[in-house]
Structure 1
């Protein structure tokens, strides 16, 4: 009689359990592989692509696109570098000491500070948040937030280069932007409530060395501002080369619609203020006043600024501040254009 050993408890049950399926290996499409595939597709389709680019419409499109990017890129890079220097190396306590104690006087002083302290939109929001944290009155901090990316020397120089035959655009942009920035500061001082403004959190660069914070700010701003510059150049080239001329003439011939159209376009494109003048200059179908609205609205409120303001000061603040800024910027641009243009 054969003697069989009983399996230890649990082994029989273990035999009945099906083996666990082997883990499936997932393939990840990394950047080098994606770039290689893209290059292969371009090589395979180089004939049709070359034919499409040789058409008059595409040649006109490429001309406008390259012109806008090449003209704007040096100002964008310079603005990003100076903006990072201010955000990292200039302490917020400097602003607190320099501003008057009375809020009504601090607002125009903070607004004028934007004329001597270059900074793009991406830097002005965290700087304004740091000012509020250091005890600066919110009205003055908001005036600086709006004026710094709109009237700093780099932006005004870029505007002069973009409009060589209309030098009055520089003065009009400066006057309208400063008027709107101070107006919004005084409006907040008059009607703003503390519970609408969430205390801003600490800046993301705090705790890093100066060098790390500087290059981190440069990388962040170049990637974001460069992407929006390309988007703006694409839109400008498309409007110039693809959109039917009759549509643009119809929009441009209506003074009210042309101003509102370019103001909304500025919000949607979210172009960096160091580069937006070259996009505006390419929209030759529109009046100078309509293009001034584009230049005044864009640095003060656009999609990326709304997101940054909501993240820094709270969504409730952004939902109130953004529409008021847009309306006042449009009115300020129209009034300034009527006087100076």
Structure 2
């Protein structure tokens, strides 16, 4: 393990360590020499870094408090945090923080539960012009499934979401497709609603197979994403700290009347109290677009990322040094756990 002799704020990989180091420095005035001596002592004695396969875990010990900065890859595909939960990475933690870039600042947005599904139709190939009647058209099944879901939307709740693509639609126009494949994401505010939606959607897939004579294979994703449970005590303190740094938050009405995406951090909030704020990066571009990718990598965005990191660090210090706050956080979490897990909603 290579020792750390110096750090630069612009080294984004270690930005949270920098913030924690500064936040944990006592406030009394010191001259430059004393600051530098203290800085090196903290880095050498309190921080160890292990970087492997882009996963970073950093531990900082201060007054018997353990702060862990944990890299959690594969949020978009597979649910890396769910694997970490199963491996015990979050065992024994009191609170967990994470921030996500967006178009606005919010201490919480209603991230919803998600179930991913892959659908495969198997038919029979045949010459499309000479003897099409000998074929079983898997593309017809895929198109019917897509249209079945479009019809279903009239009976879907406003907070439900279904979106997908046809990944494989056949090979050549003159061959009746013998195989097609679709991928869909299903989302709802709670696991209970998600299970109802999933059943309806799967019936759409099955009926398309029945109508065309195809065989169908429906396979769910490796991990379902749970909705993010709100912790009002953590949100309140984070907003107070953020406002001190000049962060302007959106109104509660905007939060309650809107939906966000889905994240495996939701699963984390079912095992430990969590805070998942969103932050503005200096651009109005929408997430998951080329414009947003460019904006997120700009120098301008670094200011907003650092400011959010500072607000999180300040909130962590409040939890550490205010036992009554930690108890309020735990009580919020306990109240949420009293609700059967499938009924827990993002709007609680």
Write 1 or 2 for the structure with the bigger share of strand.
2
Greater C-alpha Rg: 1
TM-score (norm 1): 0.23
TM-score (norm 2): 0.22
Write 1 or 2 for the structure with the bigger share of helix.
1
